Amino acid sequence: MPRRERRVQLLESALEVFVAQGYHAAAMDDIAERAGVSKPVLYQHFPGKLDLYLALLDASCDTIIENCREALTSTSDNKDRVAATMKVFYSYVASEEGAFRLVFESDLTSEPDVRERVDRVTIECASLIADVIRSDTGLPDEASELLAVSLVGMAQVSARFWLAGGGEITQDDAAALIAGLAWRGIRGYPMTDDH
């Protein structure tokens, strides 16, 4: 198998094992077995378990940040931006692969490299949102960033709570409900243009 394809296979297998068992309980033996390769093959691609975990975490963080960016640039209507961004977080946590657990529920957040990557999701998504808030409201940087971090926190926490609840509210309805709450709060800030 070509190196790139093998790496993808190993990452997919590792994701399944880490999501099911958590970092500490997962073993490289389990990952190699899940991938159908020997441990030496696994170690050819990743020198250790932390390296493998960080590669997965990087990919997962990149996905949610890029999806947030796409949601914000998908329209110039701010109400639709809020809705699209909430959908990003709800879709991410509802994904069957469970990659969100690496970012939002990691059992390794005391590890500085992991903490840095987990924080990157909040910081970069909030930065993207803050740019829109600042541009549209004329609020200072610090105020725009604080509002943006609050919106990201609302999205992350509510999406995880919704998923854990297993209730009767559909994913789309839950995202729309929280988007409505966020929009009712953020729309009150003054616009600098005629938006």
Query: Which residue carries 């988007």 as its tokens?
Result: 179
What pLDDT is recorded for position 195? 43
- Using the predicted structure, report yes or no on whether residue 155 has a pLDDT greater than 50: yes
Q: Which CATH superfamily is domain 53-188 in?
A: Tetracycline Repressor, domain 2 (1.10.357.10)
- Using the predicted structure, report yes or no on whether residue 192 has a pLDDT greater than 90: no
Average pLDDT, the chain: 90
Q: Kindly state the average pLDDT of the residues 180-194.
A: 80
Q: Report the alpha-carbon angle 156-138-118, nearest 5.
A: 25
| CATH 1.10.10.10 assigned to 1-47 | no
Delimit the domains of the chain by residue range.
Answer: 1-47, 53-188
Q: How far is CA 147 from CA 17, 35, 135, 142, 183, in A?
A: 36, 43, 13, 9, 12
- Using the predicted structure, report yes or no on whether residue 43 has a pLDDT greater than 80: yes
**pLDDT digits over 94-124, tens only?**
887 777 877 777 777 788 998 898 899 999 9
**pTM of the entire predicted model:** 0.86
pLDDT-derived band at 191 (thresholds 50, 70, 90) equals low
**pLDDT digits over 82-102, tens only?**
999 999 999 998 887 777 877
Cα dihedral sign for 57, 60, 64, 65? positive
- With contact defined as beta carbons under 8 Å apart, do 12 and 45 qualify? no
